[in-house]
Amino acid sequence: GENVEQHPSTLSVQEGDSAVIKCTYSDSASNYFPWYKQELGKRPQLIIDIRSNVGEKKDQRIAVTLNKTAKHFSLHITETQPEDSAVYFCAADYSNYQLIWGAGTKLIIKP
């Protein structure tokens, strides 16, 4: 069946450095790829998304890239700050407009 693999499961970076989280998906018909951030004890919230007609999208310090041929997409966070510490989930849509979710990446920003 369809699935989304997310790596790494935990990522620790020095404050100010960049962080990259990668996801691969299996359904070639997927067209929508969101990223959600979940801070400890809070609900997941959308931080950025990309659709298949675009290869890259940026919003201030965050960016997402999509390679449809290779079926992978990545989240890039530059100049990381303590408030970036959270669990990040990627997802991809499939046939009935649902989302398949990655397992999550715990991002730790070291001071």
Partner 1 sequence: GAGVSQSPSNKVTEKGKDVELRCDPISGHTALYWYRQSLGQGLEFLIYFQGNSAPDKSGLPSDRFSAERTGGSVSTLTIQRTQQEDSAVYLCASGQPTYEQYFGPGTRLTVT
Q: Which residues bind partner 1 (CB under 8 A)?
A: 31-32, 34, 43-46, 49, 89, 93, 96-99, 101-104
Q: Other C-beta atoms within 10 Å of 44: how many? A: 18
In the bound complex, what is the minimum distance in angstroms from residue 44's beta carbon to partner 1? 5
Q: Which residues pair with 46 in a beta bridge?
A: 36
Nearer to partner 1, 43 or 70 (CB): 43
Which residue's CB is nearer to partner 1, number 16 or number 46? 46
The encoded tokens of residue 16 equal 């100010």
Residue closer to partner 1 by CB (options 99, 108) is 99
**What are the CA-CA distances from residue 107 to residues 68, 95, 111 (Å)?**
25, 30, 13
